[in-house]
Structure 1
């Protein structure tokens, strides 16, 4: 179940300032909430599985996968947002996202409960994120989009998947270990 995602121009990456403009967003479920990422950041969607554990990693790093010969770390977003380890189901997916850091591209996978759809969210339906009251860090949110009267959290991928922050945490031994029950 691989779903390649075409990108018209990989140089045109979105960041927090671009989240206030209309665009296409991949929506997905995580702990009964809807999240979105700009489609230009998505490389592909994979069926969950094939993870290899890496010892001494923090709990939010679920493991690594082999993606056409490249080692790609997979982040459990639920744990990254401060929750408990996500239990994989048959609808769980790994969304491969390309991030750029110091002129280098890196692929990182994120584990989500299920992928919903690609939606066009007009700029008039996108608002700044709230400064308080959210259950995830404010810097992880680029904006809030309104879809059919419901709010969707548009993630700031560069903050959520900050390679500097992940590298710092990756240097520390995991306190709880990373349990995986596939």
Structure 2
């Protein structure tokens, strides 16, 4: 099966450091401003803490730590994911520098990821003069 056949649809684009990333819009429940985070003792290094979102305790993950991104950037928004994608069925959100837009991706725009990772990178989207890295939060949270 080619990467292209499994990687089309609408994606939400966001910024981490100097690069643009995207996730399938199907995983996203909402986008919120960063609020008060409560640190959790002995949490994995990629977990920044937890916050209360509409009465639900939500784990806040820093995807820069997950993907090994060193570039500084001010995290301003949280992408909140559907609890169904997280193995523990708990709510999770990612700290991102900026959220851009939702765009339609066609099969011919997607190339297989050059990285031999754990499947967390679905592909690379070619758009105009840039590349957008398509990540799969379900795989990230299953591995994390």
TM-score (norm 2): 0.85
How many angstroms does 1:82 deviate by?
2.2
| 1:35 matched residue in structure 2 | 21
CA distance in 1, matches of 2:129, 2:71: 30
How many angstroms does 1:144 deviate by?
1.1
CA distance in 2, matches of 1:55, 1:126: 40
Structure 1: runs of 5+ lacking an equivalent? 1-15, 167-182
| 1:20 matched residue in structure 2 | 6
How many angstroms does 1:17 deviate by?
6.5
Query: Is contact 1:19–1:142 with CA below 8 Å preserved after alignment?
Result: no
Q: Note the 1:54-65 alignment, pairs <5 A.
A: 54-65=40-51
| CA RMSD after TM alignment | 2.7
| 1:154 matched residue in structure 2 | 134
CA distance in 2, matches of 1:123, 1:49: 37
SS in 2 for 1:57: coil
CA distance in 2, matches of 1:78, 1:158: 16
How many angstroms does 1:88 deviate by?
3.7
Query: Is contact 1:76–1:85 with CA below 8 Å preserved after alignment?
Result: no
| 2:61 matched residue in structure 1 | 75
SS in 2 for 1:58: coil
SS in 1 for 2:119: helix
How many angstroms does 1:147 deviate by?
1.5
Q: 1:86 to 1:108 in 2, by over 3 A?
A: farther
Aligned length: 143
| 1:49 matched residue in structure 2 | 35
Which structure shows the bigger proportion of residues in strand conformation?
2
CA distance in 2, matches of 1:88, 1:52: 18
Query: Is contact 1:19–1:143 with CA below 8 Å preserved after alignment?
Result: no
| 1:141 matched residue in structure 2 | 121
How many angstroms does 1:32 deviate by?
0.6
TM-score (norm 1): 0.69
